[in-house]
Amino acid sequence: NWQVSMLPVKFLAANGSGSLTTAVASIRYAKNAGVRIMSNSWGGGGFTQSLFDAIEEAREAGILFVAAAGNN
């Protein structure tokens, strides 16, 4: 599509490590930038309320949050 813009948002280091804080911040950054779709392929631990809240905020803003499953 010639009408598409992409906003790359990186929060993981070259070795794949990252923090929950920067993951949440990256979701909120993209939301505030006005993205309409987020494509996410990164592993993580179990449930965390702060990550759930950030994803829910994105959903409430009308953003489609796509997440990969089965990386490990």
pLDDT for 71 beyond 80: no
CA 55 – CA 29 distance, rounded (Å): 12
Q: Whole-prediction pTM value?
A: 0.87
pLDDT at 66 over 90: yes
What would the two tokens of residue 17 be? Answer: 């490590």
User: Which stretches of 1-72 are DSSP H helices?
Assistant: 20-33, 49-60
pLDDT value of residue 19? 92
The tens digit of pLDDT for each residue in 2-51 reads 899 999 999 999 998 899 999 999 999 999 999 999 999 887 778 899 99
